[in-house]
Amino acid sequence: MEEQEMLVRPNPEDERLYQIVSGIDHTGRTVEAAIINERPLTIFLNAREIVTAMTIGDHPEYLALGYLLNQNMLQADDEIRAVEYDEEIETVVVRTTRQTDYEEKLKKKIQTSGCAMGTVFGDVMEKFETITLDTGARFQTSWLYALQKSINTMPSLYLKTGAIHGCVLCEGDRPLIYMEDVGRHNAMDKIAGYMFRHGLSPLGKSLYTTGRLTSEMVIKTVQMGIPVLLSRSGFTAWGVELARKAGLTLIGRAKGKRFIALAGAERIVFDADPAQAQDEPGHLSRKGSRDDD
**Structural domain spans, the chain:** 39-121, 139-291
Q: Is 199 left (phi over 0), alpha (psi -120 to 50) or beta?
A: left
Whole-angstrom CA distances from 134 to 206, 208, 237, 238, 267 are 11, 18, 23, 22, 10
Residue 105, pLDDT score: 58
Q: Which CATH superfamily is domain 139-291 in?
A: Cytidine Deaminase, domain 2 (3.40.140.10)
Nearest to 288 by CA among 239, 255, 250: 255
Identical fold, 39-121 and 139-291: no
Nearest Cα to Cα of residue 171 among 7, 4, 27: 7
Q: What is the largest CA-CA distance in the chain?
A: 61
Q: What is the pLDDT of residues 86-136, one digit of tens each?
A: 999 999 999 999 877 665 556 555 444 445 444 444 556 777 888 999 999
pLDDT tens column, 51-66: 999 999 999 999 999 9
**Which bin fits 174, alpha (ψ -120 to 50), beta or left (φ > 0)?**
beta
User: What top-level class would CATH report for the domain 39-121?
Assistant: alpha beta
Give the chain's mean pLDDT. Answer: 88
CA separation, residue 286 to residues 34, 183, 282, 292 (Å): 17, 22, 6, 13
Residue type (1 letter), 164: I
Which distant-in-sequence residues (6+ apart) come within 8 Å of 81 by Cβ?
Answer: 95, 96, 97
Quick one: pLDDT at residue 76? Answer: 86
- pLDDT of 79 above 60: yes
Q: Which of 139, 293, 255, 258 is nearest to 206 (CA)?
A: 139
Pairing state between β 39-45 and 48-55: antiparallel
Report pLDDT for 104.
58
Q: 201: Cβ–Cβ under 8 A, 6 or more apart, which residues?
A: 195
